Structure 1
Amino acid sequence: MGYSAGRSRSHKRKSADAELLNLRQAPGQLGVVLLALAFFAFVMGGGGSRYALANLLVQIAALGAMAFAIPHFRKSLGDMPRGLLLLVVCSFLLPLLQIVPLPPALWQALPGRELVAESLELIGQSAAWFPLSVDYGRTLVAMASLVPVLAILLLYPWGKEGAAEAALLLIVVLGWLNFAFGALQLFAPQNALNPYPVRDGGRLYGFFANHNSSGLFFVIALCAAIGAARSSLATPALRPFFWGSGAIFALGAVLTNSRSSTALLLLPLALAGWIGWKKLARFGGKVRMAVAVAAVVSLGAMALLFTQNSRLGATASRFATLEDHRPEIWTDSLVSIERFFPFGSGLGTFRDVFPVDESLEYVLAGQAGRAHNDYLEIAIEAGIFGLLLVAAWGVWLAIKVFAARNDKHWPVVQAAAIGFLCIAAQSLIDYPLRNQAMLCIAGLLIAVMVGREPAKRDRNAT
C-alpha cells in the first residue's frame, strides 16, 4: 500500500514537473529575438507620437532584430500567408507614395492644397515640386512606425507547432508585467513611477501614456488568458493559473478608469461565460443551479465592491456622464475629410490640417491632436485609399478567422480574433494603434489568427 502511494506521489510530481517544463519551453517557440523585441517594444513603445526618441529606439531595435534574422527571411516570406504579405506591402506603399515629390501642376490640383500653394507662393516657391502629403516629415515618421510590427511578422515562426500558443502566453506574461508595474504606480507618491506625464492620477497606466491603451491591453491579455486556458498549454495544473490571470487582467482594465476598456470587457467575459455554460451542460440540474446562485452572489459582491472601493468606484462614476468633446471633433473631422477627399492630406498630418477646419464654437483650450476615431483620422490622412486598405485588412482577417472555425486550434484563433475585434471597436472612439507597443501586440494577434491552415478539430472540444 505504502509502495503504491509512493509511486502515485512520484507520478504526480513528475507530471507537475513536465507541465512546468512545457510552460517554460513554450516562449522558446517564438525565438529569442522575437521575444526580446516584443518585450522592448512593450516597455518603451507605449507613449505614442509625442515620444519620438522612445519610438526611434524601438524602430532601431526592430531593424536590428530583422538584420540579425536576415538568413531566415527567405523562409519567413515563403511561409507567410500570401494575403498577409500583400496587405503589409500595401500598408508601406501607401505612405511611401504620399512622400514622392510631384510636379507643381499636379500637386496644386489636389483637393485641399490651396493654403499650401499660397504659403509657397509667398516665399517664391510656387513652382517647387511637392509631395501629396502636406508634411512629408510626419508621413515618413508614420511609415517608420510600421517597422516594428513588420519585424514581428517577419520574425514570427510561421507554421511552427506551438507558436500561436506561445504568442498568447507572451501576452499573458506582458499582462502580468503591466499589472505589477501599474500597481506599484498607484502606491508611489506623486506619480513618481509613471514613465510618462499623466493628466489624472489614481489610474493604472502601466507602461502606457494613455489609460485607454492600458485598459485595452488588459482586455486583450484577458482574451489571451482565455485562449491559453483552452490550448495545449492548459494542463490541469496550469489551467487555474490562466483563469486566475484573466481575473487579474479584468481588474486591471477597471483600474485604468477607461470606460471603453471596461465596456469591452463584455466581449471576453461573454466568451468565458459561454465556455462555462457548455461545461455546465455536462452536469445535472442541481449543479447548474448551484453555479447560477454562486454567479449571482459573486456579481452582487462585485457590485458592492465597486460602490465601497474608491478606485473601482471612480470607474463606475465615469459612466454617470458620457459627455465629452469627441462628437464636436468628429463633426469637424468630416469637414476635413471632405476638403482633402479622395487623396487625403498625408499620414500623420491630422495635427497640421485639423485646426483649419475646427469650428469656432468647438475650439478647445488645448489642441485636438487626434480625431479620437481612427477611421475618421485615416479618412482625413489617406482618403479613399486608406479606407479601402482598412476594409481589405478587415475582410481578409474575417475570412481567415471564419475558415479556421473547424481548426483544432480554433480556441486560440478565437481568442486572438476577439482581442483584435476589441482594438477595432475602441478605434471608433480612440486611437489604440497610434503607439508602437499596441502595434506589436496587434501584429502578434494577426499572426495567431492567420498562422495556421484549417485542420479538423474535435467537435466536443471547448
Structure 2
Amino acid sequence: MTIRHALVPAYLAACLLLGGASAAGFAANMVLQLAALPIICVALWSLIFAPPPNLNRAPLIFFGICLVFMALQLLPLPPELWTALPGRAPVADGLRLLQVPLPWLPLSLDPAGTLASLLWLLPAIATLLGVVVLGAFRGSLLSWSLLVVTVLSIAVGALQLAGGKVGGAYIYEITNYGVAVGFFANGNHMATLLLVAIPFLGALQLSLLRRARSPRNASAVRVLTATIFVVLIVGLLTNLSLAGLGLSVPVVLVSFLSFRRKDIKPRWWIFAVALLLSVAAVATVVLGPFGNNLVGSQQHNAELSRRTSFQLTLNAAREYLPFGSGVGTFQEVYRTQEPLKSVTTVYMNHAHSDWLELLLETGLLGIGLAAIFLLWWAARVRAIWTATGPDYYARAAAIATGTILLHSLVDYPLRTAAISAVFAMCAGLMSDARPFTRRQAASASTRHVTI
C-alpha cells in the first residue's frame, strides 16, 4: 500500500465531513469542488495514456453522457424552438407584455441553477475517477474512512440531542433542530450514511478476519466490528428517521446473508423469512401511525409534507414533458404550482424524491438514462454475486447503492456532496475497479484483489 491509495479515502472523508448540506454550507462545498479539480485533471491526463478496461468504462461513459446532457441544456436556442417547448408559454408571454424582443434562450429555465448543478457534481466525478482511473484507494481504507466518520457523526448527533433544539453542536443554520443529524443538515441524510456503513462494516470484518494470524486476533476483530455495529444501530435509533428505520431491517439482513461465515449455509426458508421481515419493516413504517407525511394524515404543516410536494411536482412535471424544465430549476418551477394561500417565508428546496425531481427537470430523457443505469446496476449485481472469487467490497457497494436508490424515492440524499461521493465510490467498486499497482511489479495476468 502506498500514499496514493489514501487519496480517495481521504477525499471521501472530507466529503462526509464538509458536504452534508444541499441548501447550506456553500463555502464547504466550494472547498470540496476546488479540491476535486486536481483529481479530475490528473485522472483525465491518465486516461490519455492508460484507458481503463472495458468493464470499468461503463460508469465513466454514463457520467460523461449525463454531463453532456446537462451542458446541452445551456445551449441557446432560437425563439422559434424554445417557445415551442412545453411550459415555455408563460415566459414568452411575459416578454411580449414587456414588449421585449424574444431572445435566444436555453432549454433550462434557470441556466445559473444548471451550471451550479454541474459544479455540484465535481466531488462525485472526482471520487469516481479516483477509483476507476487512478486506482487511488484500498477497499479497507475506504471502509475505515466511511466508518470512522460515521461514528464521529453519531457522537456529534449525541451532542446535538444533549444540547436541545438550540444547542451549539449543530453545524448548519438551516437544519433539523432537535434531531441527531451529525455532520449533515438533514436527519434523513444522516440515516442514509448509517445504512450505507452497515454493509461496508461486514465487508471490512471479512477482510480483517482473512488477515488475522491467530484466534485471538480473530476474536478481537469480531469484538471491534460488533461494537461498531451496535453504535450504528444506536445511531439509527437516536436519529429516528422513518425511512432509516424501515430500511435498516432489509439492509442488516442482506448484509448478514452476504457476509456470513462460509460454514453457515442458510436454507431457502431463511431467505424467505428475511424477505418477509424486510417487507414487513418497510410496510410498518409506511402504513403505521408514526407521523408519516406521505400516506399518513398530516394535520400540521401539510403544505410542506411529502404528499403535497409529490402532487405539485408531478403536476409540474406533466407541464414540462417530454424535455423537462432544466436541471437545477426545481425551486423556481415549484413556486408556480403552490397555492397563494400556502406561500410563506418557508419554501420547498427539493421535491423530497430524487426520482420525481429528475422527472421534472430532465423529462423522459433523464428517466431513460436512469433506467439504463438501473439495467447496468442489475447486471453488475448478478455478476458480483455469481463470481467465483467473491469481491466483498463490491457486494457492499451494491447493497449501499441499492439502499441509496430506495431512500431516494422519498428523499434527496444524492443532492448532498457527501452521499453523491459515496454513491460514485460504490459505482466504481461495482465496475470491478482495482487499486493501483506498478506495471513493472505486476504480471499482466494477475488479478489484484481489493483488501
TM-score (norm 2): 0.79
- Corresponding residue for residue 19 of structure 2: 45
Residue in structure 1 matched with residue 215 of structure 2 by the alignment: none
The answer for the alignment partner of 1:6 in structure 2 is: none
1:156-200 deviation line (CA, Å, top 9, x unaligned): 165969833432232122222222332333334632121112654
Alignment partner for residue 400 of structure 1, among 380, 385, 390?
380
Residue correspondence of structure 1 range 329-340 to structure 2 within 5 A: 329-340=309-320
Match of 1:436 among 397, 414, 417: 417
User: Does 2:235 match 1:260?
Assistant: no
Structure 1 distance, partners of 2:99, 2:7, is: 51
Q: Name whichever of 211-220 and 412-421 sits farther off.
A: 412-421
Letter of the aligned partner of 1:110 in structure 2?
L
* CA 265–282 in structure 1, closer or farther in 2 if over 3 Å, else same: closer
Which shows bigger deviation, 152-161 or 392-401?
152-161
- Give the deviation of 1:228 after TM superposition: 1.4
- The one-character-per-residue Cα deviations of 1:295-337 (angstroms, maximum 9, x if unpaired) are xxxxxxxxxxxxxxxxxxxx9xx95332342122212222111
| Structure 1 residue 419, shift from structure 2 partner | 1.1
Whether contact under 8 Å (1:218, 1:249) holds in the other structure is: yes
1:84 is matched with which residue: 59, 77, 80?
59
AA matched with 2:169: L
CA displacement at 1:273 relative to structure 2: 4.6
Alpha-carbon displacement from aligned partner over 1:275-304 (angstroms, at most 9, x marks no partner)? 698778589xxxxxxxxxxxxxxxxxxxxx
Counterpart of 1:104, as a letter, is P
Question: C-alpha separation between the residues in 2 aligned to 1:414 and 1:437?
Answer: 20
The residue aligned with 1:59 is: 33
CA RMSD across the alignment: 3.1
Which structure has the greater CA radius of gyration?
Answer: 1
**Letter in structure 2 aligned against 1:409:** P
CA–CA distance in structure 2, aligned partners of residues 321 and 263 of structure 1: 14
Q: Any conservation in 1 of the 2:176–2:187 contact (CA below 8 Å)?
A: no
CA 1:68 to 1:279, structure 2 compared with 1: closer, same or farther past 3 Å? closer
Residue 202 of structure 2 corresponds to which residue in structure 1? 226
- The farther-off stretch of 339-348 and 42-51 is 42-51
Shift of 1:106: 0.5
Structure 2 segments unaligned to the other structure (5+ residues): 213-217, 267-284, 299-304, 435-444
CA distance in 2, matches of 1:443, 1:261: 21
In 2, Cα distance between equivalents of 1:160 and 1:369? 36
User: Whole-Å Cα distance in 2 between the matches of residues 67 and 333 of structure 1?
Assistant: 37
Q: Distance in 2 between matches of 1:281 and 1:155?
A: 36
CA pair 276-134 structure 1, distance change in 2 beyond 3 A: closer
Partner of 1:320: 290
Task: Tell me how many residue pairs correspond in the alignment.
Answer: 397
Distance 1:123 1:32 in 2: 57
CA offset at residue 140 of structure 1?
0.6
Distance in 2 (CA, whole Å) between partners of 1:142 and 1:150 is 12
Residue 362 (structure 1) shift: 7.0
Aligned residue for 2:278?
Answer: none
What residue number does 1:298 align with?
none
Counterpart of 1:78 in 2: which secondary structure? coil
Alpha carbons of structure 1 residues 282 and 217: separation in structure 2 relative to 1, 3 Å: closer
| 1:59 Cα deviation after fit | 0.7
Report the Cα offset of residue 398 of structure 1.
1.4
User: Retained in 1: the 8 A contact 2:202–2:259?
Assistant: no
Equivalent residue, structure 2, for 1:245: 228
1:274 to 240, 245, 257: 257
Between 72-81 and 440-449, the greater mean CA deviation after superposition: 72-81
The residue type paired with residue 351 of structure 2 is A
Given that 1:133 and 1:345 are in contact with CA atoms closer than 8 Å, whether structure 2 keeps it comes out as: yes
| Gaps in structure 1 of 5+ consecutive residues | 1-24, 284-314, 458-462
* Aligned residue number for residue 181 of structure 2: 205
| Alpha-carbon shift at residue 212 of structure 1 (Å) | 0.2
Displacement, 1:253? Answer: 1.9
1:142 paired with 2:125, answer no
Q: Quick one: distance in 2 between partners of 1:70 and 1:100?
A: 24
Greater CA deviation, 114-123 or 368-377?
A: 114-123
Please give the residue correspondences for 1:156-235 in structure 2 after superposition, counting only pairs within 5 Å.
Answer: 156=131, 163-188=138-163, 190-197=166-173, 200-231=176-207, 235=212
* Contact 1:116/1:134 (8 A) holds in 2: no
2:357 to 377, 400, 404: 377
Contact 1:227 1:416 in 2 (8 A): no
Conservation of the 8 A alpha-carbon contact between 1:76 and 1:155? no
Q: Classify the secondary structure of the residue corresponding to 2:386.
A: coil
Provide the identity percentage. Answer: 28
Q: Assess if the C-alpha contact under 8 Å between 1:259 and 1:319 holds in 2.
A: no
Q: Does 1:119 align with 2:87?
A: no
- Supply the distance in 1 between the matched residues of 2:290 and 2:69 (Cα, whole angstroms): 42
Which of 380, 389, 405 pairs up with 1:424?
A: 405
The 5 Å alignment of 1:351-366 reads 351-359=331-339, 366=346
CA-CA distance at 1:394 after TM superposition: 1.3
- Report the residue type matching 1:259 in the other structure: L
Superposed CA offset, 1:375-406 (max 9, x none): 11111100011101111111112111211223
- Greater Cα offset, 266-275 or 105-114: 266-275
Equivalent AA in structure 1 for residue 31 of structure 2: L
1:218–1:252 Cα contact (<8 Å) kept: yes
Q: Aligned partners of 2:179 and 2:66: how far apart in 1?
A: 34
Q: Distance in 1 between matches of 2:398 and 2:346?
A: 36
Normalising by structure 1, report the TM-score.
0.78
Work out whether residues 46 and 134 of structure 2, in 8 Å CA contact, stay in contact via their aligned partners in 1: no
Partner Cα separation in structure 2 for residue 377 and residue 319 of structure 1:
27
Instruction: Say if 1:442 and 1:277 are closer, same or farther in 2 by CA, change over 3 A.
Output: closer
- The CA deviation at 1:40 is 2.0
- Whether the aligned pair in 1 keeps the contact of 2:13 and 2:146 (CA below 8 Å) is no
SS at match of 1:409: coil
Match of 1:447 in 2: 428
Which amino acid is 1:95 matched to?
A: M
